[in-house]
Every structure is written in C-alpha cells, then in structure tokens.
Chains A and B, each alone.
Chain A
Amino acid sequence: MAAQYITETETGSEAGSGIGSGADEVVRLAARGVTVGYGGRTVIDGLDVTIPPGVITTIIGPNGCGKSTLLRTLTRLLRPASGTVVLDGEDIARLRTRDVAKKLGLLPQAPVAPEGLTVADLVARGRHPHQSWLRQWSSDDADVVEHALAMTGVADLAERPVDSLSGGQRQRVWISMTLAQGTDLLLLDEPTTYLDLAHAIDVLDLVDDLHESGRTVVMVLHDLNLATRYSDNLVVMREGAILAQGHPRDVITAELLHEAFGLRAQVIDAPVGDSPIIVPLGRTHV
C-alpha cells in the first residue's frame, strides 16, 4: 500500500510543482543521490531534491526523519557519504567554505550568543565572509548591517545585549545576522523553535518579507499548519526519504499525513488564503 501511495504523490507533485523546474538553466541548490549518516547509522539514503528558486521551501516530517540532516547537508555542515550537493551548478564540496558563505546564509537550530554581545555587534559578524585580516570593516559593511537591522525591525534594539531580548526578538536578530551576510539563499533550521504562536507568526512574516524581496528560503518547521501557510513548496520526509514534494494544496492530504506521521487528521480549506488547514483528530476529540 505504501509503495503505491508514493507513486501517486510523485505524479501529483510533478503536476503541481511547475515553480522552479520550468526555467531550469542553472540549479541554485539541489541534492543528487546523497547518503548521509552519523557514525555508522545512515539517516538519509540516496535522496534527490531540487530547491526551486525564489520561493519558500519547507521541509516537514516526523521527528528523526532526517529533516535537519537534509538541511545541514544542503549547507555543507554535514558531508554526505555519497552523492553531491549542487550550489549554482557546482559541487558544493569543491567550493571554498568562504565562497559557500557568500552564496548561502545559514541559521542553525537555537544558536546562542555570548552573554553581553550587543545586537549591532552580532549582526555585524554576519559580514565575516566579505572581510579579510587586513580589511576587517568598511563603510559597505556598515551600510549592509544597518539595512539588515532595519529590515528585520530590530534597529531600535541595536545597542541592547542579545541575551536581554525575548525569544522572538532574538530570532529576528539572528535572521538579521544571516541577512547581513548578503546572500539571496537562506537556510533556516527550525526558526520558530521555543516561540509561542504569536512570535512564531512574527518570525515567519519576516521570512515572508525576505522571500518577497526576492530571496530563496529553505527551512525546517515542526508545525504543519504554519508550514502549509507560509510555504510555496513543501518537502515531506519520512525515514530519510522524500514522500512528496509540491505546493501545500497539492501535497497535503489526510492520506499523506497518515503515511508520513501516522496522524489521523482532516484537511480542510482555510477560510483565508489558498492553503489547506490540518485538523488533527487524535483518538478522543472527534
């Protein structure tokens, strides 16, 4: 039954994902047959995925399915045992770490700033890939940092220590640092972890703003309804493989949720927007 279902969603997703594959001159970011593991354990086995440019792609899946592993592989934090990650048509493993950092911004899960470091100083560190031993700070750097602070709405917090901020503000500051890196490709590993719903929405609205200004975003999210609401492209994973990929309204079905998460749920149209809403049924609340 499982195998049959996968083929169904694959054809379904191809129909729905005309987003990036149409104008396929140079692939911005893609994994080609990557196998990744920790120690002796294989987490992802021979996975292929292409990240469509200019949209928000969200990777979802149950705990331990390899979402973060895939994201970390795409950013070269993890080196695949076999297969390649392609960045702008080149094998990412052959690029210099610094050159990767000029093309691809990365925000890891729950980063921690040193106690007392100010917002402005943290965001300024984002310029590192563009600096050198001799050229440690320039007016260009200052301009970019000022814009990054303003764009993420943390300009008025610039002199505050990062550790004195609320969780939501802090996450905005980290995103601001990633923006200061000046890349149009952003990879965010669970940017809404530890945030309440209002702050999560706040951060995701910011992510949406970044996408509107032309950036390609890839993120991992836990919350399915937020993922469907804020993504143009969903990558659904289970046990290190991709179950389905495409626009949320094409991908999210009750069958898929059961297949991927073992979750009983109903999928209905949202009263606003064009994305579906997932109503989990559980065992007792029907």
Chain B
Amino acid sequence: MSGTETGTGARTGGPEDIGTDVRHARRSVAQGARLGRMSFVWRPWMVLVTLLLAGAAFLVFCVSIGVGDFPIGLSRVIATILGRGEQVDEFVIMDLRLPRALAGLVVGIALGVSGAITQSVARNPLASPDILGITWGAGAVAVFLVTVSSGTTEAVVSSVGLSAAALGGGLGTGLLVYFLAWRRGIDGFRLILIGISVSAVMQAITTWLLVKADIRDVARAQVWLVGSLDNRSWDDVRVALWCTLVLMAVVAAAAFQFKPMHLGDEVAAGLGVRYTVVRAVLLLCAVLLAAVGVSVAGPVAFVALVAPQVAMRLMRSPTPPLMASGLVGALLLIGADLVARAALPITLPVGVVTAAIGGPFLVYLLVRANLRQTDR
C-alpha cells in the first residue's frame, strides 16, 4: 500500500526520520512549569500581560478615587486604602468614593468575564451579553419596576429592588434565549440570531414602557438605562462583590474543562469533556455575571463585547482569555467613567463613553468578519 505515487512530493514523516522531527517539535511545544503540586503550561508573555493589566487596573482604580471636587493625590489614595491615611481622606475615600470605584471594578470584571465565556461558547466574537439580549432583558424588567410601580411602592423601587429586578430579568432572558436556541445542542449562530431577536423584543418592551410612563419615572429610568456609576453606596457594591467572587470561583473551577471546548463540541467530547454540563454551568455563570453587572451599573453598553476581544489581541491568544478579559473590562469601565467625569466639559454617564468606544469597535469586528468570509 505504501508504494503509491502521490504526486505531491510533500510527504515526509515516515517512522524512519522521526528522531529529527521530534527534536524539531521540542522547540515549538510549550514548556511546563511547576508550583508545588500544580503544573501548568508556562507562557511568559501571557503572565506578563496579565500582571501589567492588573497593575494598570489598580492604577486607574486609584486615580479614579483621587479625582473629584476634592482632589486627592495618588500616594494618599493608596495609603488610605491600605489603612494608613489621614482622617479627612479616609472619610472622602472610604465612605464616598471607594464604593463607586469598587462598583466600576466589579462590574468591569463581571462583564468582561461574562463576554469571554459567551464569545467562547458561541465561538463568535459577536456573542456578548449585550447582543444576546441579557442586558436588555435586565433593563426591561428594571424599567417595568420603575414605571409601573410608580409612587405606590416607593420602597421597592429603592436601589436594592431595582438591582434584584435587573438580576431576575437578566437571568430570565438568558434562560429564554438558551432554551429557544436549543435544538439537539447549541449552535453559535442560532444562539446569536435568537439573542438578537429577543434583544429587540426587550428593547421594544422597554420603549413601550417608557412611552406609557409618567414623565418623572421616565427621567429616572433613562439615567439608569444609559448605565452609570453615580451615587453607588456600600450596600449596592457589597452584594455584587460577593456574587462576583462566588461566580468567579465557579468559573475558575470549570475553566480547565472549558479549554477543549474551543475546538467544538464533538472534539471536546472525544477528549473526555461532558460538554453539555460544562457549557450549561459556564453559560449560567456568564448570564449571572452580566446580570450582576447590570444590576449595579445599569446596562453599560459594549464592555462585555469589547473587553474579551481586546484581551485576545493583547495576549496574542486565539481564544478569549478569561482572567485578562475581566481585567480589561475593569480597566475599560473605570477608565471610561474617569473620562466621563473628568476629561469632558460636561459630566456624562459612563454608558455614553463605553458606547462611543464600543460602537466603532463593533463595526470593526463586523467588517473584519465580513472580509474573512469573502476571502474564502
């Protein structure tokens, strides 16, 4: 059988010349690293970028705390956070500004990681919680609460009630999209198409609610709908912080089983992954993370879409890296909030700035996807 003339002349790699090939391969195969009982692939570039991103996020976090009507220097901010600050600074920072900055950090990480998961599951950069309708679902339910229960149950419409409504709305919409898209498995394109349709329905419901509602409620709902970190208190942040920590722990535990799923369901199954379970757990985490983000800051546009894509390019990774996506998300959101507050002549809600960055980026992704399709 081996006597066949193939005519390509390209064939190499019979068992006889395997020695040189193995030596050749050794240079390209990733090296391992050990840490106690742990062993993992050693990729210096990715570690470096992740550390730099974490450093940058912390820096922007501190700068964001320092900027305001009563400016505080960077060194004093860091000293106060570490518990060695002066009393004046401590009041301004710990009571007034830290909740806002922490909200930005938590929401940014939650949205970034959420986007990384949904984009990986759908194997498509367009599949982010904004496109899949999760953020709009959360928004619609929150607006419903604001407008319908107007005046009568003022207590419910406190920020806690609003957050709970957004959380419920996000989760409900996420499940709806998942089950509508389910047909003997989940296909990326169907997920996105169903997501876009559900998203449109949710936007229509929101618009309808706003048209019908009392003008004062509309104003309140509008501010929330754009996405804003204004007036966040410790109560708002605390719940979101714990939720995000727990969800991140689950994501970290499942991340190892998630790696082969970038190669498609069947390959993953062949590699011993129970992909339906892993995918369901991770998508649930992604929906909850996005809903937590929306419940704190409103449906901040495009962070979940942009952050994983930026992280991929920085890390030179073919798939959205989870941790780096979260850090880029935080950097993006706090940075945008900083720009919205300090760099512009008028103070804007953060959602306006992220939309201004994210809109062009979405166009770029679409053009690029289009070019790739016509290439083939």
Write the residues of chain A forming the contact surface with B, with a CB cutoff of 8 angstroms: 38-39, 75-77, 96-102, 104-108, 111-122, 124-126, 128-129, 131-139, 141-142, 145-147, 149-156, 158-159, 161, 168, 178, 181, 198-199, 201-202, 205-206, 208-209, 212-213, 229-230, 272-273
Contact = CB atoms under 8 A, between A and B. Distances in A.
Contact of A205 (B6, B19, B272): B6
Nearest to A187: B270
Contacts of A199: 8
B22 interface: yes
Contacts of B319: 114, 117
Given A149-B25, A201-B6, A142 B259 contact: no
Lowest 10 CB-CB distances: which A-B pairs, in order? A153-B13, A101-B272, A150-B21, A106-B270, A158-B28, A108-B266, A116-B318, A98-B272, A155-B21, A129-B272
A141 B32 CA distance: 9
B264 interface: yes
21 contacts: A98-B272, A113-B263, A115-B318, A116-B317, A117-B262, A119-B28, A122-B263, A126-B271, A128-B273, A136-B38, A136-B41, A136-B256, A137-B32, A150-B22, A150-B25, A151-B15, A159-B28, A181-B271, A205-B11, A208-B2, A209-B15
Contact of B273 (A97, A133, A137): A97
Max chain A C-beta neighbours (<10 A), residue from B27, B269, B319: B269
Interface string B12-50: 111100110110111111111100011111100000000
B318 A114 contact: yes
B7 interface: yes
Nearest to B255: A133
Given A137-B30, A137-B41, A198 B6 contact: yes
Nearest to B320: A114
Contacts of B346: none
B260 interface: yes
B84 interface: no
Contact of A97 (B37, B39, B267, B269): B269
B24 A150 contact: yes
Nearest to B123: A114
Contacts of A120: 25, 28-30
A129 B269 CA distance: 10
A124 B30 contact: yes
Given A38-B184, A125-B271, A136-B41, A158 B29 contact: yes
A124 B19 CA distance: 19
Contacts of B24: 150, 155-156, 158
A76 B93 CA distance: 58
A111 B4 contact: no
B3 interface: yes
B253 interface: yes
A199 B11 CA distance: 9
Nearest to A178: B270
A108 to B, nearest CB: 4
A255 B356 CA distance: 70
B238 interface: no
B31 to A, nearest CB: 7
A275 to B, nearest CB: 9
Nearest to B12: A153
Contacts of A107: 267, 270
Nearest to B3: A272
Given A76-B269, A106-B269, 19 more contacts: A39-B184, A77-B269, A100-B272, A115-B372, A122-B263, A129-B271, A131-B256, A134-B37, A136-B39, A138-B32, A146-B26, A146-B29, A149-B25, A150-B13, A153-B21, A168-B8, A168-B10, A198-B7, A209-B15
Contact of A273 (B1, B22, B273): B1
A105 B14 CA distance: 21
Contacts of B39: 134-138
B274 interface: yes
A249 B300 CA distance: 68
Contacts of B25: 120, 145-147, 149-150, 155, 158
Most buried by A among B31, B270, B372: B270
A125 B31 CA distance: 14
Given A150-B24, A205-B2, A105 B30 contact: no
Nearest to A154: B13
A179 B101 CA distance: 50
Contacts of A158: 24-25, 27-29
Contact of A101 (B4, B33, B270): B270
A100 B273 CA distance: 10
B38 A135 contact: yes
Most chain B beta-carbon contacts within 10 A, residue among A77, A114, A229: A114
A146 B266 contact: no
Nearest to B277: A97
Contacts of B28: 118-120, 149, 155, 158-159
A52 to B, nearest CB: 18
B264 A111 contact: yes
Interface in B23-81: 24-33, 37-42
A119 to B, nearest CB: 8
Interface string B283-327: 000000000000000000000000000000000111100000000
B260 A128 contact: yes
Contact of B260 (A100, A125, A151): A125
